[in-house]
Structure 1
């Protein structure tokens, strides 16, 4: 399978890693490697990078997830593709840590996965999964639930008394 043609002439690619460089990520080859979580971590990192580098011109900067073969499986990295350089991208501006929006996305994803696993093991029924985790991820930070979750105001598990 060949490489896709360049988006722009004279493009440069920068491999940024799967997550901010001071954060833990899924490690290919480890017994608990979760390929789905690895993909989602990259997607969340891409959204964070888009927040950091906004309003970059779409014709000069994009972030993509790429897969790479490894003797223990496939791993993923976020790659910055920089077209005709207008100064909109700097490796030194790549965040070291998750921002509050990405932290909320990660919390939501982990909680939804925990419910999915519990459902698969028949430990709970579908009706026991809170509505927040039965659908697609809320639009962080724009939905009220997402904003409340980021601020710690929306519980990750709904109370049985509610």
Structure 2
């Protein structure tokens, strides 16, 4: 782990019971973490990688689940839309946690619905801005499996779907409320292991610091080449 003296600021914030991020440690403006909107960001036709492209932004399709988690329901299934959206929004929250709640203009994750003959197919797309966004994001850091928080969220969502189905079939009383069911599927990030949170945070900080170091090195090399004693002709 690379030591950064600015981590002292994170320790002070953590001790005070607040959440900090590289936005603060790296002296960038803090945009805050907006509540999940549960709204599909775009409905597009054709290739999602090209039809909404913004100059200077790279789009990466990530699917609705971590790559090593098997899809257990396919497009066209009557329950596909509900389960795929649950998976997609859970995965989006997981990515936000993994990449330490990045500023939207640097890196953001969107849930998209793409039309198909069997109905809408869902996808989570990373929008990576050139420069800082490329330093912040790493495809190698995208989780391959659900963590405990994501499993808790999907389990809660699936149990609510099952209860609603049984109620509609008359197999449960209409006023039945499962134990612990407290409304919409909630953000379970408070269940995260603090050590894992710190490791993810440091992964981001170190990637951004290394990119900054490489830019400074390249700038110094360019300045040396253009100086009177340099190699420019």
* Structure-2-length-normalised TM-score: 0.55
State whether structure 2 residue 78 is matched by structure 1 residue 28: no
For 2:172 and 2:79, locate their aligned partners in 1 and report how far apart those are by CA, in whole Å.
24
Give the equivalent residue in structure 2 for 1:53.
99
Give the equivalent residue in structure 1 for 2:65.
19
State whether structure 2 residue 121 is matched by structure 1 residue 75: yes
Give the gaps of 5 or more residues in structure 2.
1-43, 46-50, 192-233
Alignment CA distance shift 1:138-1:65 (3 Å): closer
For 2:87 and 2:188, locate their aligned partners in 1 and report how far apart those are by CA, in whole Å.
15
Cα deviations by residue, 1:54-76 (Å, 9 ceiling, x for unpaired): 14333200000111222322211
Give the equivalent residue in structure 1 for 2:109.
63
For 1:58 and 1:4, locate their aligned partners in 2 and report how far apart those are by CA, in whole Å.
16
1:133 deviation in Å?
2.5
Give the equivalent residue in structure 2 for 1:41.
87
Aligned residues: 140
Higher relative contact order (CA 8 A, sep 6+): 1
Give the equivalent residue in structure 2 for 1:116.
164
Give the strand-richer structure, 1 or 2.
1
Does structure 1 retain, via aligned residues, the 8 Å contact 2:153–2:187?
Answer: no
1:32 deviation in Å?
5.0
Secondary structure, counterpart of 1:133 in structure 2:
coil
Give the helix-richer structure, 1 or 2.
2
1:137 deviation in Å?
1.9
CA RMSD of aligned residues (A): 2.1
Cα deviations by residue, 1:76-115 (Å, 9 ceiling, x for unpaired): 1100001133200011111110011000001101111111
Cα deviations by residue, 1:29-60 (Å, 9 ceiling, x for unpaired): 3x454211111110000000001101433320
Larger radius of gyration: 2
Give the gaps of 5 or more residues in structure 1.
148-162
Secondary structure, counterpart of 1:78 in structure 2:
strand
For 1:132 and 1:34, locate their aligned partners in 2 and report how far apart those are by CA, in whole Å.
25
- Flag as ranges the 4+ runs of structure 1 deviating above 6 A: none
Secondary structure, counterpart of 2:175 in structure 1:
helix
